[in-house]
Amino acid sequence: MRLSDNSKLMSKVAAEMVGTFAMVFAGCGAIMVNASTGGSITHVGVCLVFGLAVMVMIYATGHISGAHFNPAVTIGFSVVGRFSWREAPAYIFGQCLAAILACVALLFILGPDAGMGATTPSGELMQSLVLEGIITFFLMFVIMAVATDGRAVGQMAGLAIGGTVALLAIFAGPISGASMNPARTLGPALISGQFTAIWVYVVGPILGAMTAAWVYQRIRCDDDSAADAGGCC
């Protein structure tokens, strides 16, 4: 890899770190403030904070790094050839490091409230594993649609993805925590020391993202083929 390539990758990873830091800092911070203030933000409010943080950071950094903010998304893109496997480890490292740093900042500012926003299953592990896989599938499916298909309205990507995060978190949050993101789970787990079923939040989202990326690749219709066939393939 040439020096210029290394410089570009460093810029991309830096953008990923800023976006992931913002998402974890705002989202987990909302959970902690909600707990310490007796529910003033509410569950729906917390979900909206996560969704809004993702939305604004997509608009802020999407043109630099692609705005993954999520190891599962990076892996999903990579398995279908939409992202370089060579760059994937650097992205994943940056995302995880940023999530950890965000939780360190929250610990310093707010103290160890609400387990630092850690995600833990409220019921059976299999229930949360399947749920995390399914909701990450839908998140990745939307991401694939707006990020890889030229027929989608690119300017709406942030709104669509952020809205999906908020929507899925509203109903899945009370059951699994609605992580959809191994880095988002890893940060609070490391800083709070709560490692309960952490594998659920690694395996579920990664399998869901890979499946969604593969499914969208199979059903999508390229612009050229659509035009040649007079419709969708």
The answer to whether the CB of 205 falls within 8 A of the CB of 139 is no
Q: State the average pLDDT for the chain.
A: 91
Percentage above 70 pLDDT, the chain? 92
Q: How many CA atoms lie within 13 A of 99 on its CB side?
A: 26
Q: Is the pLDDT of residue 41 over 80?
A: yes
The answer to whether the CB of 164 falls within 8 A of the CB of 139 is yes
Pairwise CA distance, residues 147 & 123, whole Å: 34
Q: How would residue 232 be classed by pLDDT, with cut points 50, 70 and 90?
A: very low
The confidence score (pLDDT) of residue 222 equals: 55
pLDDT in tens, 134-179: 999 999 999 999 988 777 656 789 999 999 999 999 999 999 999 9
The answer to whether the CB of 41 falls within 8 A of the CB of 22 is no
Q: CB neighbours (10 Å) of residue 144?
A: 25
**Which residue in the block uniquely carries the two structure tokens 């995880």?**
96
Percentage above 90 pLDDT, the chain? 83
pLDDT in tens, 42-70: 999 999 999 999 999 999 999 999 999 99
Q: Which domains does the chain have, with CATH numbers?
A: 3-229 (1.20.1080.10)
**If residue 1 lies in a helix (H) or strand (E), which one and from where to where?**
none
